[in-house]
Structure formats: C-alpha cells, structure tokens
Amino acid sequence: MFDRKNDVVIIGGGLQGCAIALFLAKAGSKVTVIDKTVAGRHASGVNAGGLRLLLRDHREYPIAVRAMDIWAHLDQFVGQAAAEASEVQLQTSQIAIAMDEDEMAWAGERERDMKRRGIPNEQLLDGADIRRLLPGISSQVLGGLVSRPDGHANPANAARAFRMAAAAGGAHFEERCCVVGIDLNGSGSWRVTTDRGTAEAEIVVNCAGAWGAGLAGLVDENLELRSMALSMMVTARVEPFVAPVVIGIDRPLSFKQSAVGSLVIGGGIAGKPCLEEGTSFTVMDRMVSSARATVDAFPCLSDIPVLRTWSGLEGVTPDGIPYIGPSARHPGLWHVFGFCGHGFQLSPAVGETVAASLLSGNIDARLQPFAVDRFQAGKPAQRGRNDAA
C-alpha cells in the first residue's frame, strides 16, 4: 500500500502521461503516475509511430510543429541511449496518394487551403513526382501531397524512453494499480483512491486514453468518447524499397517499411474493443479493405505474406482532435486524452505545453482549440470541415 502526497497525480502512463510527468518532474514538481497495467501498454506502445504533419488538422499544427522540434532533438529530453533506441527518422517524408480524380481534386484544395493558412510544408505532387518518390507504385496514381519534414519512430521504445526519463527526473510510478475513486479531501486537494493505496495532490491529470471518459465519469463529468481497437498488420521482410510513409486520402491506407524490411500496414482498421477487460481483437474481415488499398497502390506486393496483426485501444472524440485542458467542472483537474489515433507525434509538445500551463496557471494558447467544453451548448461548433469555406 502506498500513501503519497504530491503536487500532481497523473492517471494513465501512456505517452501523454509520461511526457507531462517528464516536464513537470524536470521543473521540480512532485509527480506520481498511476497506471492500471504498465506504462505504454496500450495505444502508446503499439501504434505505427508516425511522425506526421501531413494532413494534420490545422488546429493541431502549432503543437505538432513544436513536437517535431522535440523529436529532432530527443536526446536532450530523454538522454542519448533512449533517444537512439527510439529510432527517430525525420525528413524521410510522408506522402498521401491520390488514386482517383476526387482524391486529386481534394489534394489540390488542401494544398491551397494550407498555403492560405501560412502552413507551407504540404506540397502538391503530380503522378510523375510520385512515381519517382515511390518505386513500385501503381501507374493509376494521379498525384498527391508530400510533407518532407515527416518521418517515423519506434513507438514502444519511445514510450519507454519517456517513462524512463520521467522516472529518472523524479516522477514516481505506480503500475498495475487501478483507480477506484477520485474525490476532494477535507483541505480541498484531490484524493485518488486506488486498489493499492491513495495519492493526494493539488492537481490531477486524466491521461487515461480510451478510458479517459470513464475516469471523467468518476467525477460526474461527461465527455463524449468512442473507443476503438485500431489494428495493424505486418508482413514478411522484403528488400528495402520505400523510405517515405504512404497514406491514403479516402482509402484506408497507411503504409511504411520498417528498418528490418517488413511492411507495417494500418489505415484505421477497427478491431473489436473490450474496454472493460482492457483487451481487443483484430478482425481479419476488416483487414480486407486495407489489404486491397495496399495492393491497389503497390500491385507488386500482392504475394507478400501478412505474418501477424495487432491492435491497441484508443479513444476517439466527436471532432477528431483531442481533449486537452482543464475540466469544465472541477478546478485542479485536467483532461488530456482522446487523441483519435494520431497522438504519438504530438506527445512531447503536449507534455511540454500542459506542464508549462499547470506550472504557470496560464493555459498555453496553442492548447485553446482542444478545450474540453468545446461541444457544450453556447459554444460555436468547431468541426473542422465547416471552416473550409
């Protein structure tokens, strides 16, 4: 049993929780991270590790750009060895491919829109450009968009890197420890009750990922979240032939070649989530569309065998961007979850901006679009597709 007094208790030891813990601990805060299994066990450790600006929601760009800086200098944050283990590859590009006229028209519109917003890194490519960048790509491809600063990293090792760095900086970790209640103690600070002890703190940060809405429910705060078991498949090793990550526009495609040669294929394929039991199942029936998108894009890969599949549990918000900000109901409580399958790249900057906001008491302006009460009556709808006009 533990009984600990802290400045901040972070519930959920995924990448976001560990990154916040790292920046808080470095600033001298007394932090405890509580995880019901082990840090990085779910979406943080099993995602595709994309470091992507390409096709990102424009509201995420400010923190995404800062996150790229941190990824590029990861050793300064997590140490040399852990940074090397994280296998950060930048400047290898991510490319969105247009396989039909609709997708191509969309790509053109996207490029103009981003230019208008002063975001210059997404560039339009024609079919010849794409064929030069992606050997083996179908002759059907009409063009697409490239973001050259983008790349990828090893998600499991990166999650571990942030966890170890946070611990080395003084953050305390309680793993295999399940939160059963959150309430205010007599003196107005939070008491987090777990199956193994209690932790008290002025501030609680809910980084519980797919379980974030459930945790918010413990303090009667209703945040809409859908849980998904996002799945991936990996093939046998083939000769290295493609350095950029390739993603679809309308098609369920996300495709990269790992350092050892295997192809890692995703694209938002949904497995069967079992949130309560903390597990999920991959559903081969749904891998079909992703396999088809891959073979359509790279017909030469038709004979390459899929060796295995996996999935991880993730929380998805109604508008496709995360909740990051203070609770609308309880002072001293923050919510940081619902990253909709693309939080990996953002995590270091989320850690930095959330920690800075907590320490200063002023919310970093870059976090404003992620306010947790953005869907409440009286707030203007911020659905991205409405502001294209």
Partner 1 sequence: MTAEPRPDPSAAGTGAMPRDADVIVIGAGPAGMSAAVELSAAGLSVIVLDMNASPGGQIYRAVEANLNEGASHGLANALGAAYSAGQPLVAQFRVQSNIDYRPNTVVWELRTDGTVGWQQAGRGGYLRARHVVLANGAMERPMPFPGWTLPGVMTAGAVQTLIKASRLKPSGRVVLAGTGPLLFLLADQLLKLAVRPALIARTDGLGDKLAALPRLRPAALPALAKGAGWMANLRRVGVRTVTSLTHLEAVGNERLREVVIKAAGKTMRLPCDLLIVHDGIIPSIDLAQGAGIAMEWRPDDASWRPVTDAHGLAKPVSGPSLSPGPNCVWLTGDARTIGGADAAAAHGMHVGQTIAASLGAVKSRHASHSSPAKRYAQAMAARPFIDAAFPPGRWSVELGDATIICRCEEITAAQIRSCAQQGVTDMDQLRGLLRCGMGPCQGRSCATAIARLLSREFDSPLPMPFRGRPPVRPVPLGVLAQLQSLDPDLSRSEALDDKPDASSRGGIDV
Pick between residue 225 and residue 355 the one whose CB is nearest to partner 1. Answer: 225
Question: CB of residue 357 vs partner 1: minimum separation in angstroms?
Answer: 24
User: Would you say 337 and 12 are in contact if contact means Cβ atoms under 8 Å apart?
Assistant: yes
- Is residue 134 a contact residue for partner 1 (CB under 8 A)? no
Binding to partner 1 (CB under 8 A): which residues in 228-267?
Answer: 228, 230-232, 235-236, 247, 249-250, 252, 254, 266-267
Nearer to partner 1, 206 or 280 (CB): 280
Q: Is residue 131 within 8 Å of 242, Cβ to Cβ? A: no
Query: Which residues inside 7-46 make contact with partner 1, applying CB under 8 A?
Result: 38, 43, 45
Residue 255 near residue 365 (C-beta atoms within 8 A): no
With CB under 8 A as the contact rule, the residue among 81, 184, 259, 307 that binds partner 1 is: 307
Residue 177 is given by DSSP the state: -
Strands, E assignment, 35-178: 50-51, 94-98, 122-126, 143-147, 151-152, 172-174
Q: Tokens 């090893």 map to which residue?
A: 154
- Residue nearer to partner 1 on the CB measure, 18 or 232: 232
**Closest to partner 1 by CB, 130 or 269:** 269
Residues 323-382 that bind partner 1 (CB under 8 A): 340-342, 344-345
What is the nearest approach in angstroms of partner 1 to the Cβ of residue 341?
A: 4
State yes or no: residue 177 binds partner 1 (CB under 8 A).
no
Of the candidate residues 66, 110, 172, 366, the single one contacting partner 1 (CB under 8 A): 110
Angle (nearest 5°) at CA 257 between 252 and 260: 145
Q: Is 87 in the site for partner 1 (CB under 8 A)?
A: no
Our CA dihedral for 171, 174, 178, 179, rounded to 10 degrees, sits at -40
Is the Cβ of residue 17 or residue 151 nearer to partner 1 in the bound state? Answer: 151
Half-sphere exposure of 181 (CA within 13 A, CB side): 8
Q: Roughly what angle, to the nearest 10 degrees, separates helices 347-360 and 155-168? A: 30
The site map against partner 1 for 180-219 (x = CB under 8 A) is ----------------------------------------
CB of 8 to partner 1, least distance (A): 26
- Token pair for 42: 């779910």
* Per CB under 8 A, 270 contacts partner 1: yes
Interface with partner 1 (CB under 8 A), residue from 219, 284, 328, 356:
284
Measured CA to CA, the distance from residue 101 to residue 98 in angstroms comes to 8
49 or 169: whose CB is closer to partner 1?
Answer: 49
What is the rounded distance in angstroms from the CA atom of residue 44 to the CA atom of residue 207?
A: 11
269 binds partner 1 (CB under 8 A): yes
Q: Which of residues 310 and 375 has its CB atom nearest to partner 1 in the complex?
A: 310
Say if CB 275 and CB 312 are below 8 A apart.
Answer: no
- Sign (positive or negative) of CA dihedral 87, 96, 227, 263: negative
Beta carbon nearer to partner 1, 157 or 206: 157
For partner 1, give the closer residue by CB, 62 or 326.
Answer: 62
Burial class (CB in 10 A: 0-12, 13-18, 19+), 385: exposed
Among the listed ranges 12-20, 67-75, 105-113, 212-220, the one in contact with partner 1 (CB under 8 A) is: 105-113
For 369, residues 6+ apart whose C-beta sits below 8 A from its C-beta are 59, 60, 321, 382
How many residues belong to the site for partner 1 (CB under 8 A)?
82
How far apart CA 347 and CA 339 sit, in angstroms, is 10
Tokens representing residue 202 in the block = 């002025």
Contact code string over 141-170 relative to partner 1, x by CB under 8 A? ---------------x--------------
Name which position in 5, 115, 117, 329 contacts partner 1 (CB under 8 A).
117
